[in-house]
Structure 1
Amino acid sequence: MLSAFVNTFKIVELRQRILFTFGLIFICRLIAAVPLPGVNAVAIRDFITAQGGAEGGLFGIMNLFSGGALLQCSIGTLGIMPYISASIILQLMTAVIPHLEKLAREGDVGRQKITQYTRYLTVIICAVQGAAMAIALQGGGYFGLPASVVRIPGVGFVLLTMMALVAGSLLLMWIGEQMTDRGIGNGISIIITVNIVSSMPMAVKTLIDKLSPVDGVAEIGVFHLALLIALIFFVTLGVVAMTQAQQKIPVQFAKRMVGRKMMQGGTSHLPLRVNYSGVMPIIFASAILGIFPMIGSKIPWQAAREWANTFPMSFWYMFFFGVMILFFSYFWVATQFNPIQIADDLKRRGGYVPGIRPGTPTAEFLDRTMTRLTLAGAVFLTAIAVMPSIMTSQFQIPWIVASFFGGTSLLIIVGVMLDTMRQIESHLLMRHYDGFLKKGKIKSGR
């Protein structure tokens, strides 16, 4: 593997792409550190921490995906989330709007048009969220914020904050697209991964503080540290296995005439991913459940506020969290996986599943198979998602440390790293270099 890393810098094109990607990552971290004009970032940080921003929930997700920009109150506070929200909205609308569905089938031209719509919708979402955040900052005591957050309130502050937040998000969106085109890996996903990994030094520092003895007694012993290392190893191994797990449906193609040439048939496979929905169910469930503690904290009753503080780590939160993950897993598959279209494409190309008649029976077979695979993937997602909450509530592990043992963070990091490694692997094998995987080595390449 070390020789494969060395070989990545021997290929001029691959080296340029990797260095270009690192340069854009550096710019992204600068954006997360530039503060908003006219805002007291220290007061914002204290307020969000007091509201449980570092303990999951909606504030936790926003701060996680923005790489700590929310706590810093920087121009990158909105991060790349508006672009992701716009992409998800258009993906869901593609299944119900005939015009978007037609564009999705037109190849590169249609995808470029959908990308253009996504950018327009991103601007709208950024403007709405930026204006809402500016008004919330300026609202002061009504939202629970200290009065000293905004130094010079007024219409000018709202417009300036909105423009700064929109500019920061659009700049990150542009950087992500440039990273995809001229760098290595998927730019948007890499930006999210870097933002998540940026909190790892703080997690390591927190863990070291727990290991350091106070009055001769340490909160975490060496035995507990060994258990944590073993746990993160096996959890990561399970996430990698489930991310790549798929069921291959055999497909037989018959001989057919193309012009004057007889095309040979053969056997191929239709891969169905076990975790088809990826990390989206966890994001949806976390965002929805994170709203209720925010509403409860605004109710002027002591019982409601106490419930808002204890609910994110309670049994009922994890129960509803798991139920919503199961629901959104099936919801995402139902909107994105179209067995009827797949069956029609196979029939048009002369393909069929052995033992299953083409057309409607094939679509029903694919639907049944995907339903069973989705159940396995949803149960796995639920177990991974609730693990950080269990570690925090039952074993008193700090949230910033527990978040790397499961949940959204680990799933995104593993998925993006595997995708980036596959792209680097393809560059190496194309230049007749040994890749990272043993099965990808070319024995007669030299």
Structure 2
Amino acid sequence: MIKAIQNIFSIPELRRRVLFTLCMLAVYRVGCHVPTPGVDAQVLAKFFEGTEGTLLGLVSAFTGGALERMTVFALGIMPYISASIILQLLAVVFEPVERLKNEGEQGRKVLTRWTRYGTIFLSIIQGTGIAIGLQTMRGPAGEFVVPDQGMGFILLTVITLTAGTAFIMWLGEQITERGIGNGISLIIFAGIVANMPAAIVNSVRLLRTGALTPLVGIAVLVLMIAVIMAIVFMERGQRRLPIHYAKRVVGMRNYGGQTSHLPLKVNMSGVIPPIFASSIIMFPATVANLVDVTWVQTLASMMTPDHWLYNVFFVALIIFFCYFYTAVTFNPVDVAENVKKQGGYIPGIRPGKPTADYIDIVLGRLTFAGAIYISAVCVLPTILIGEFGLPFYFGGTSLLIVVGVGMDTASQIEAHLISRSYEGFMKGVTLKGRHG
């Protein structure tokens, strides 16, 4: 690892990219502590003590605690992600958006501009809802979170939160263009990782006080490592369908006669299903914090992480969104048509519709395996904490995002090292360039 770090900083371009990325992430973390004007931070902290397991708690975790402190970055990058997902769905059902998606670089620029507009629009809507909601929040003693209420506070809050989200979006784009890795993903990564030191300190405190025995602590550590290894294995796992290309004679040359493969990932949908599932299933608990209605409170008590009904619905929603998002983003008919146009075929399968049906069957089986894997990782912390009382904070959607982003960033750094004939991260393997 030390040799790899030395290789990174020995390349001027890669060194500049890494340092630029770290500086932009530092700016983001500083902004997560700049408070929004007009909010009583102490009363707000007391209010958020009861939001664990709700949508507010989930968003606060993704923003690195910015929502809990109601800072200028309280909305985080979630409006940008929502706008991107909406455009992806529109590309499937709306022909003009699909046409732009297939126009290459020019179409990508237009979609990027639309995503920015959608981010600002969603930020204004969400900022307005947060501003109105803040004026209704009270602390345990009945004190208001916003002492000076009115239209002025709402307008100031909307402008502040929208500007904060726009600035985060700009930071992410700058990291992607001038840094290393995907900027938006790294910002989410930084927000999640910022909460991990507190979880580690809490675990150490439990060990010192005797609430957690050393044997159980070692078991939790081993389980955490095993979960990370399982995530890495599954995220890299894929089914490779063999593709054979028939020989063609064009003029005096022969083309084709080669063998390739079509890679199908086990987890085609990434972390989108657990994020959607968490947002939906935590909605009753979020409403219960704002509305004092008996049946809402009863429903919210059943939809808490320590209730079995929560886990059942959570797993069901994850499986549903895995199939839904995979169907939206991957079209077996288009893939089969492209293979047919290139003169390829799957051995034993006729080109055209039979190939599309075969790919669809294989994809359905892979999606089911990926959905079970995601469900197990997301439900594991809830079971360990609720049923066994173990302080296992290192699982769920957050760990999926952290490991996935870490692997992608490491792959990009590896590519820079390989292109300059440096040893990569793989121990014992030296990768040399063309003139090595």
Query: Per the shorter chain, which TM-score range?
Result: over 0.9
8 Å CA contact 2:284, 2:303 repeated in 1: no
Q: Kindly indicate whether residue 381 of structure 2 is the aligned counterpart of residue 388 of structure 1.
A: yes
Say which of 359, 362, 377 aligns to 2:352: 359
Which one-letter code corresponds to 2:4 in the other structure? Answer: A
Match of 1:410 in 2: 399
Residue type matched to 1:267 in 2?
T
Answer whether contact 2:414 2:424 (CA < 8 A) is retained: yes
- Range with greater deviation from structure 2 (356-365 or 291-300): 291-300
Instruction: Give the SS at the match of 1:95.
Output: helix
1:309-362 Cα shifts (integer Å, max 9, x gaps): 463110010011111111111111111110001111111111111111111111
* Aligned counterpart for 2:68 among listed residues 67, 71, 88: 71
Alignment of 1:9 onto 2:1? no
Q: 1:237 aligned to 2:229? A: yes
Identity %: 43
Q: Residues 30-73 of structure 1: CA distance to partner in whole angstroms, max 9, x if unpaired? A: 111100011112211210112xx3x3331122011111101111
- Alignment counterpart, residue 149 of structure 1, candidates 129, 145, 150: 145
Q: CA RMSD in A?
A: 2.0
Q: Please list the CA deviations of residues 375-402 of structure 1 after superposition, one character each: whole Å capped at 9, or x if unmatched.
A: 100011111111111111112234xxx3
Match of 1:441 among 410, 430, 433: 430
Gap change, CA 1:353 and 1:31, over 3 Å in 2: same
Task: Render the CA deviation track for 1:231-275: whole Å, top value 9, x for unaligned.
Answer: 001110000000110011111122346687543431111100001
Q: Which amino acid aligns with 1:72?
A: R
Match of 1:183 in 2: 179
String of CA shifts for 1:64-122, please: whole Å, max 9, x gaps: 11111011110100000000010011111111000111111111111111111111110
Match of 2:58 in 1: 61
**Which residue pairs with 1:342 in the alignment?**
335
Measured after TM superposition, the shift of residue 298 of structure 1 is 4.8
Instruction: Report the Cα offset of residue 18 of structure 1.
Output: 0.1
Residues 66 and 73 of structure 2 are in contact (CA less than 8 Å); yes or no, is this contact kept in structure 1?
Answer: yes
Does structure 1 conserve the Cα–Cα contact (< 8 Å) formed by 2:247 and 2:254?
A: yes
The residue that corresponds to 1:139 in the other structure is 136
Distance 1:351 1:281 in 2: 33
CA contact (8 A) 1:137 1:145 kept: no
Matched, 1:308 2:300: yes
Q: Aligned equivalents of 1:409 and 1:208: distance in 2?
A: 21
- After superposition, the C-alpha distances for 1:95-154 in whole angstroms (9 at most, x for unaligned) are 10001111111111111111111111100000000011111112345x999543113211
Structure 2 counterpart of 1:47: 47
Residues 429 and 440, structure 1, Cα contact 8 Å, conserved in 2: no
**So what's the TM-score if we normalise by structure 1?**
0.93
Residues 1:260 and 1:36: Cα distance change in structure 2 (over 3 Å) = farther
Secondary structure of the 1:149 match is coil
Instruction: Give, in whole Å, the separation in 1 of the partners of 2:158 and 2:141.
Output: 19
Is the 2:243–2:344 Cα contact (8 Å) retained in structure 1?
A: yes
Q: 2:158 aligns with which of 146, 162, 179?
A: 162
* Residue 271 of structure 1: aligned partner: 263
2:6, 2:428 → 1: CA distance? 19
State the one-letter code of the partner of 2:424.
Answer: G
User: What one-letter code is carried by the residue in structure 1 that aligns with 2:421?
Assistant: H
2:189 corresponds to: 193
CA distance in 1, matches of 2:383, 2:61: 19
Distance 1:438-1:209 versus aligned 2 partners, 3 A rule: closer
